[in-house]
Every structure is written in structure tokens, then in C-alpha cells.
Structure 1
Amino acid sequence: MPENIKDKKAALEAEAKRLIEENKRLAEQESVYKDTRKAMLLMLEDLSRTSDAVTRSKHELEATFNAITDPLFVHDKQMRLVKANSAYSIYAGTQDFIGKPYYKVFPLMDKPFSLCDSLCKSNGESEGEAEEVTIPYINKTFNIRYYPIRDDSGRFIYSIHILQDITLAKVMQGRLMEEMSINASLLSIAEAAIKTKDLEKLMQHVIESVSGVLGADICLSYLKEMKGYAACQAYGLGKSDMPRFKAELLDDGLWFVKQVVDKNESLLLQAPSQKDAGAVENGLFTWLNGVSSILVIPLISRVGPVGLIFVCFKRQWHISERDRKIIKGFSNQVSSAVEEARLYRESVSKAAELSHKIETIKVMNEIDRSILSTLDSGEILEIVIRLLARVLPCDRVTVGFIDKERGGFVFQAGFGLNLDKGFFTPFESTSSTKVVETGMLQFVPDLRNEERLLPLEKMLLDSGFLSHIRVPIVVKGEVTALLTIGSKRAGVYTGEDISTLEELGFQVGVALENARLLQDLEELFISTLKSLSKAIDAKSPWTHGHSERVTLLSLRIARKMGFHERELKTLEIAGLLHDIGKIGTYEAVLDKPGKLTEEELKLMQMHPAKGAEIIEPIKQLRDMIPVIKYHHEAYDGTGYPTGLKGDDIPLVARIVTVADAVDAMGADRPYRKGRPMDLIIKELQRCSGTQFDPDVVKIFLEISHAGEIEP
């Protein structure tokens, strides 16, 4: 029994101990639960606060989303609206749009934005790109930006678009660009006004700028002249209207011209349909096809009106205050520029006129000196023609001499026409005949306006010549020739040009008269010399005609050797006088049939020196002395009177030596018969290099073989 109690006591103690341990464990577990509950309560409190924060954030985000004044929307890959802000709803005019394609809501379009479409197709790679879109039905322009929204794996799921309203900015930009364009045009006009002194170029620049600034279709400019306003430059005008424009001179008395000039204010004219009397009065709208409005702008400088600008519109146009300010600004600018350009042109024109007058005086003096320095009519004409183009505008110059026997004009000299010297034009084939009949000059400013053209004038017109001046050349009170200048431009000649040509024609007439007088004197002189040479040759019947034959042969040789006309003239006179020293030789010696004695030979050999002595006192004949004195010198130095040798003997004398010997050998003499040409040639060849110059002999042989010398 006691043992059972003992066992029960032990069992109770063990149970008590277990319970104490269990209680202790439960106490510990209760502590853990208590901490857990506390933690859970804290977590619930945090969750509540987080939920409130999320709710607030959601409201704040929603408020922020809707606070954006520009339309903003989000769509999925199928372009269906997922979300949009209030601004978008306002533009769309509805809030019932979720799930609908945005381009069917706002903005209303047939298809999505191009960049939006490419964004979806590229899986959102085109992030942040922009596109400018104008929506006509609300008259707005938006700058649209695109941003992709991706999931955690980076896949594109949505696209958010921001539509920034840039309408006002675009308007301001347009105005700014317009102002910049206007300022650029005004600056370019100012620059042109400073740099350009050419009125035509300046006005062309001005009307192009004005047309651009005001948006005109046509712009015309006129410059003030003595009687009205002359057409200057045109912009936008058709080719068919240009002749009418260029021919038009606006009268000062036209009411609208008078009004804009008197008030110094622009005036807007409307088409005749609006009963504008001024437009009808001047016919402005009748030839300016399709023009509805014309703005007339006066150009008034410090000295008065300098021009007009007509700005034409093919639409009804009305002037604004801004336009008035622009017009006033550039009209003042252009007026000053036109005045300066005109003053510059006048100063340049006066300087050019003065320079031209100085050049004319210089050339006229040069012509005067030149034609007085020669008495050769051909040379006179060549000088005049060569120098004339320096003082007068001409594309052709002709000198035609009158041939009364043939009844017409013979072309003598000139340029510009393909005419051979000697070309003949009958009197009835040209209006030049009037100049001969009246002795008055002829001035034709434009051949196209002549009622009836004779063959020569028709040929000139067909060749492109439009104007000409013809002046008579008078010699001894008679019209002997015509001097003509012509141009391929109409109306090119001035009164001063006519006076200059008249004076030149007078100078040429005087020079030709002097040349003719000299020619008459020379002919008389040569006739006298021929008579004298005949008298010399007549001292002996065996020498009849000898001097003239020697002269002719000498001239042929000299021409072949390239002598000039002046040298040939000297040779001609010298040839006729080469035996003048024989005047002092007795006829008995000249006609002696036998061999001359030594004394007679010495007497004969004196005639060259004696001839030189006879000529020496005559100043005008001194150039002939070398021929007269040395024509009996031998090439090897064995001749007389001085024994000159080779090139020391003047060439003209060497030529006459050969010609004299040829004639002497071919002529009969009291003591022998004349030799035939073949024997003469053999003798020349035998004596070439001894008695005769080999070069002269060679030339003679060439002439002889060519058959230019009569046997």
C-alpha cells in the first residue's frame, strides 16, 4: 500500500512537473503570440496607412493627369483607349471612349498617327519621338509625343501620347517669319539702294521685293520724265503685255496719279465692276487681264515725285494698317534711292558726254591732221572710216562716189557690208539719190517705219540695219560722194551725232578737193616733165621716146620689187628726167654715126652730173637726184661719174641703169641696128654682177619671161 502511494506520489509529482513544464511552454508561446498579435496589429496599421497613401496617390495622380491642359491619352497595341485626361475628354466632347480606337474619338481621322503606328509595329522602340499634326476641323496644330509603357518583362503593352497645343506658337512663328521676310526685303531694298546705281536694276529689285512682301501677282514701276511717267520695270507681267507696258506713258493729269502725288499716300483702285472711274479712264484693268485690285504707291523724294509703283492683285485685296506702315517705309527708302540713282546717272551721263565731246574733238583733230597730211584720196577715206567709229555709234560705214555717166553710186570704201570695191548702185535703187538732188543730209531713225523702201534700203533692213545718217561730200560746190553711217539699233543717233557727221563730211570734202587739186597739179607736172623729156629725147631722132620707155620699165621692175606708191612716184619723175643733163650735150655728139672720141666720150659722161646740177636748186625734185646722177654707175665700180660700187649705188639708180641699158640696146642707133630681146637678155646675164645689179637683172628676167615686156 505504501508502495502504491509512493508510486502514485511519484506519478503525481511527474505529472505536476510536466504540467509546470507545459505551463511554462504555454507561457512562452503566449508571449510569442502576444508579440505576433502586436506585430500583426502594427502591420494592419501600416497597411491601412499604405492604403490611404495609395488612395491619396491615386487621387493625386488622377488630379495631376487631369490638371495637364494638353490632351493626354493611353492606348493599347490595338489603338484602343485605356485612359485619357479631362483635356482629352473636352476635345473629344465625350467621356465614353474607353475601349474605342482613339482615332475614332479624337482627333477624328481615318487611321492612327503615322509615328504611333510605327511605334506599335516596332514594339515601342521609337520612344520620345514627335510628330506635328494640324487638325483642320478645330483649326489647331499639335506637337504629339509618343512614350511606350512596358510590363515587368519589358514587353510593350501601352502607348501614352501627349498632344501639345502649339497653334499660338505656330501663328507667332508665322508672324515672326513674315516679319523677318519683310525686314529682309526692306533690308535688301536698302542694300540695293546703297549699292545699285543702275535705275533699271534698282527698280527690278524693288518690285520683286514689294511683290513678295504684299503677295502681289503683278508689279509695275514707272519713273518720272518731263512729260508724265515712263514705264521702267515689270514683274509677273506676261510677254504679250510687255509691249503695251513699255509703250505706255502715264499722264501727270490722271486723277489717281495726281491724288497719290499730291497727298503722298498710296491709293487702292478696284476693278471696273466696282465702278472705279479712274481705272476705266486709264484703261488699266482692260489690258491687265484678271486683275481685281491695284495699289498705286507714289515715290516722292526731296525734289518731288520720282516715280510710281503699281501693285496688282488678281483677287480682291484690302490694305491693312500693317501694310500701310510697310508701304510708307519702303516708299520713302526707294524714293531716296531713285533720286540718288538718277543723280548718279545724270552725273555719269554728263561725265560720259563730256568725255565723248573731248574724244570727239581729239578724233576730229586727228582726222583733220591725218587727212591734211596726205593728198591721196584713198588714204583720206581709210583714215576717216578707221577713226569715225571712235566717236559715233555705227555698225557700218560706207563712202559711195557719184558716177553721173553710169547714173549711180560706186562703193569706194567702208565696213559692215559685204560689198566689193566698185559695187554699183543705180540712182533709182536707193533713197540716197535725194541727198544728191538736195545737197541735204538724210536721217532715218528707224527703217521699219519708212513707207516705201527702195531695193538698197530693203537690203539694209534685211541685213539687220535699222537706222542711218547720210551726209553729202561736196567738192568744188558739187556733191561728189556720200558718207553714210548705220546702226542695227533704232533711234540710236542724236542731234550731236548728226552735227559731228556733217562736220566730218565737210572735212572730207575739203581734203578730197585738196587731193583733187594736187592730183591736177601732179598731172600737169607729169605732163610738163613728159614734155621736157620729149624735148630732151628730141635732141636726137634716135632717142625719141627713150625717157618714157625707161620710166615704164623701171616702174615695172620697182613694183615687182615691192616699192610703195610714194617711191614709185619719185621713180616716175626721176625716170623722165634721168637724161636731163643731155640738154647741154651737142646734137652732133648724140647723132654721131661712128665711134666717139675720148673727148666726146668725156662730154657724154658729164650728163649725169650736169643733170643733178640742173635739178639741185629745185627743192621738190631733190629726191630725184640719186637716179639722175648715178644711173650710169656700174655694179663693180667701173661706172661714172663717181665710181660707186654695189649697194653704195642707190637702188632706184640700179633699176634705171638696167632699164636704160635695155632700151638703149633695143633701139636703133646711127652706128647700129637695135638688138632683139633674146640678145639683150644674154647681154644682161653676161654683165650681171659687173655692170648690173644681179637682183635687178633677176627681176627683169622674171618680168620678161612672164611676157610683161613688149619686144
Structure 2
Amino acid sequence: MLGKPNVEGLLEGALEHAASLLGGNVKGYAVLRKGQDTVSAVRGYPKTLLGLSLSGPWAQMRPRLLADGPKELYSMNTQDVVRQLDAAGMNEVSTTVIVPLVDKGRNVGALILDQFQSGGVSQNQQEALNRWGSAVTPLLSVFDTREEWRQGSRQLTIALVEAVESQDFDALGHAQQVADISGQLGRQLGLNERELEQLWYGAILHDVGKINGDQGHASIGANFLHAVPHLADAQKAIRHHHEHFDGSGEPDKLVGEDIPLYARIIAVANALVHVGDAARLKGQAGKNLDPRLVELAQKLPPRS
């Protein structure tokens, strides 16, 4: 369940095990209460539901068995939301089981399990599901704390970068643009969350060494992370983002795929921010830039 170490991964695993406790043809989704109730994970339903604000019969913080399909759920939402639920196939639900997620009296959310055949839910199954919900909920608090630290760390990093960029008015916002494009390229390559996190730090900090001037700033910037072992890949990306695919770059004249992947991604993103149009990168493919990443850059949405 912790193979995908984030809230969505935790809830996906929770839904998977809960469905196995019920057996049969079961789909499900998890709702978290963050101001509005929001679909935060799905099992069997399309991922287009993720992020959907949804009112539902889980607000009472108690286990429920709904034998009239989606009737109550549909009555609590707008027609626009109902159309989305219909498109996901919820209009064919036979029975719904609500498993509340309650932490120290606080309604965190719920696991919602939908049966598509009237197999029924035994008392033992309901009790097992409730125990499972009680076991899952404390883990959500761990991830909430982790996310708060993650966001705080990012905000402090952005503040540092903006302080460096403020020395040169033309550079304001440059690092954030490079980080955004790097993330898009990373997702096209199928990088996982941990890898995207390393890439983000490498991209957002790629020019931080310019606090001491432009000369040798890549190596200087990398030194900022020498005592942060969990960002070792980001450190390499910063050091090598001025290497050239043909070996003519710096500081180590690395060639081709000997250049760390994150550094090659940042180089393409950095070049795209400067030229503004991905088509203009084609002349650098195989020279300064990785040709495969230049090709991927052509698929990105046009920059406004």
C-alpha cells in the first residue's frame, strides 16, 4: 500500500484491500474533506473523477449501507456533477458501502465501495471494513504532516531563488518557468513522484549559484546541496545542466547519456524558456541538447 508514497497511493491501496474484503464486482473511490469533499483516489472508476468536489452520504461519520444504489448521492449534487457520475457508470450501482475515516473525532473522509450485483454485505464484512478504515486513517495524518513540510520546504526554496533572481530584473520568474517545463518533460518520460521531486529541486535551483556571479555558477550552485544527501540527484542536475550533448559543455565535458538525465531535461527546459518556441530547439538537437528530449519538447503546449 505504501509502494506509491503519497495520499493517492495510500488510498488506492486502501480501496483495493477494502474491495477484496467485499469480493465480487466492486468499484470504489475515496473522498477527503479539505474544505470541500474531494475525490482523492479511485478503484475501477476513471481517473477523470480525481479532484471532483462531491457531496455525499458519508458526512455523518458512521458506517452506512445504501441499498438503493446512487439515489442519495445523486440527490445531493448538481446536474453537472451527476452527468460526470453517470459517465463513470455510477448509475448502474446496486449497493453502496460507506466506510468512514475518522481520526480523534474528526471526519477525515470516507472510502466508498460500490457493488454492481446484489450480493449483499454481511455483518462480518461490514465490521472488517470498519476496522480497516480505522487502521488507514492514522496514516493519512502522517501524509498530511509530510505534505505540510514538503510545501514549506518548497516555499522557502522559491523565496531563496527569488532573492537571487531579484539581483537581475530580467531573471525574475525564470527558475519557476524552467521547473514547470522540466516537470512536464519528466512526466512525459514517466518519472515517478520521488524522481519529479528531485527534478523540481534541480530545476528551481539551477541558477542559484549566480548569487556569486555568472562564472562557474553551475558548480557553485551544486555546492549548496552538498550536505543534503536526499537531493543528491538534484545536486548532479545543477552541476551538469551546462554540459552539451556533443561533449563541448562544462564543467566536465560529459557526452550524450553520460550527462545525468535531470541535467539534460533542465538544459532543454532552460533553452525553451530562452527561445520561447520549441521548434527553435531543433537546431540544437544532438549538439547542446539531447535530441530525444528536444523531440518531446515539441509535444508540449505552446508557451503563452
Query: TM-score normalized by structure 2?
Result: 0.79
In structure 2, stretches of 5+ residues that fail to align are: 76-85
1:472 is aligned, of 77, 100, 112, to: 100
Task: Using the TM superposition, give the Cα deviation of residue 563 of structure 1 relative to its aligned residue in structure 2, in angstroms.
Answer: 3.1
Q: Which residue of 2 aligns with 1:692?
A: 289
Take 2:176 and 2:151, find their aligned partners in 1: how far apart are those partners? 15
Q: Which residue of 1 aligns with 2:186?
A: 558
Confirm or deny: 8 A CA contact 2:93 2:114 kept in the other structure: no
2:16 is aligned, of 386, 398, 402, to: 386
2:153 is aligned, of 509, 525, 528, to: 525
1:227-376 alignment, distance < 5 Å: 370-371=1-2, 373-376=3-6
Confirm or deny: 8 A CA contact 1:474 1:509 kept in the other structure: yes
CA separation of 1:473 and 1:643: change in aligned 2, threshold 3 A: same
2:175 is aligned, of 532, 547, 552, to: 547
CA separation of 1:697 and 1:573: change in aligned 2, threshold 3 A: same
CA separation of 1:389 and 1:556: change in aligned 2, threshold 3 A: closer
1:511 is aligned, of 139, 147, 150, to: 139
The structure number with the bigger radius of gyration is 1
Take 1:571 and 1:419, find their aligned partners in 2: how far apart are those partners? 25
AA partner of residue 639 (structure 1): G
Task: Using the TM superposition, give the Cα deviation of residue 686 of structure 1 relative to its aligned residue in structure 2, in angstroms.
Answer: 3.4
1:493 aligns with 2:106: no
AA partner of residue 521 (structure 1): W
Take 1:426 and 1:410, find their aligned partners in 2: how far apart are those partners? 10
Q: Which residue of 1 aligns with 2:302?
A: 708
Take 2:47 and 2:282, find their aligned partners in 1: how far apart are those partners? 47
Q: Which residue of 2 aligns with 1:483?
A: 111
Confirm or deny: 8 A CA contact 2:202 2:262 kept in the other structure: no
1:609-620 alignment, distance < 5 Å: 609-620=219-230
Query: TM-score normalized by structure 1?
Result: 0.36
Question: Over residues 49-70 of structure 1, what are the superposed CA-to-partner deviations in whole Å (9 max), with x where a residue is unaligned?
Answer: xxxxxxxxxxxxxxxxxxxxxx
1:629 aligns with 2:239: yes
Q: Could you tell me the percent identity over the aligned residues?
A: 24
AA partner of residue 253 (structure 2): G
Q: Which residue of 2 aligns with 1:645?
A: 255
AA partner of residue 303 (structure 2): I
AA partner of residue 294 (structure 2): V
Take 2:271 and 2:38, find their aligned partners in 1: how far apart are those partners? 46
Q: Which residue of 2 aligns with 1:414?
A: 43
1:196-215 alignment, distance < 5 Å: none
Take 2:291 and 2:258, find their aligned partners in 1: how far apart are those partners? 14
Confirm or deny: 8 A CA contact 2:210 2:217 kept in the other structure: yes
CA separation of 1:469 and 1:649: change in aligned 2, threshold 3 A: same
SS at 2:246 equivalent? coil
Q: Which residue of 2 aligns with 1:399?
A: 29
Confirm or deny: 8 A CA contact 1:476 1:513 kept in the other structure: no
AA partner of residue 440 (structure 1): R
Q: Which residue of 1 aligns with 2:164?
A: 536
SS at 1:391 equivalent? helix
Take 2:186 and 2:104, find their aligned partners in 1: how far apart are those partners? 36
AA partner of residue 525 (structure 1): S
Take 2:42 and 2:224, find their aligned partners in 1: how far apart are those partners? 42
Task: Using the TM superposition, give the Cα deviation of residue 374 of structure 1 relative to its aligned residue in structure 2, in angstroms.
Answer: 4.1
AA partner of residue 380 (structure 1): L
Question: Over residues 480-512 of structure 1, what are the superposed CA-to-partner deviations in whole Å (9 max), with x where a residue is unaligned?
Answer: 322234554465413x32332122112321222
Confirm or deny: 8 A CA contact 2:65 2:97 kept in the other structure: yes
Q: Which residue of 2 aligns with 1:229?
A: none
Confirm or deny: 8 A CA contact 1:398 1:411 kept in the other structure: no
1:440 aligns with 2:59: no
AA partner of residue 658 (structure 1): V
Confirm or deny: 8 A CA contact 1:550 1:575 kept in the other structure: yes
CA separation of 1:566 and 1:476: change in aligned 2, threshold 3 A: farther
Take 1:463 and 1:662, find their aligned partners in 2: how far apart are those partners? 48
Confirm or deny: 8 A CA contact 1:375 1:518 kept in the other structure: no
Take 2:139 and 2:46, find their aligned partners in 1: how far apart are those partners? 27
1:101-112 alignment, distance < 5 Å: none
Task: Using the TM superposition, give the Cα deviation of residue 472 of structure 1 relative to its aligned residue in structure 2, in angstroms.
Answer: 0.9
Take 1:582 and 1:484, find their aligned partners in 2: how far apart are those partners? 51
AA partner of residue 568 (structure 1): L
Give me the CA root mean square deviation: 3.5
Take 1:514 and 1:541, find their aligned partners in 2: how far apart are those partners? 40
Q: Which residue of 2 aligns with 1:655?
A: 265
AA partner of residue 94 (structure 2): F
Give the aligned length: 289
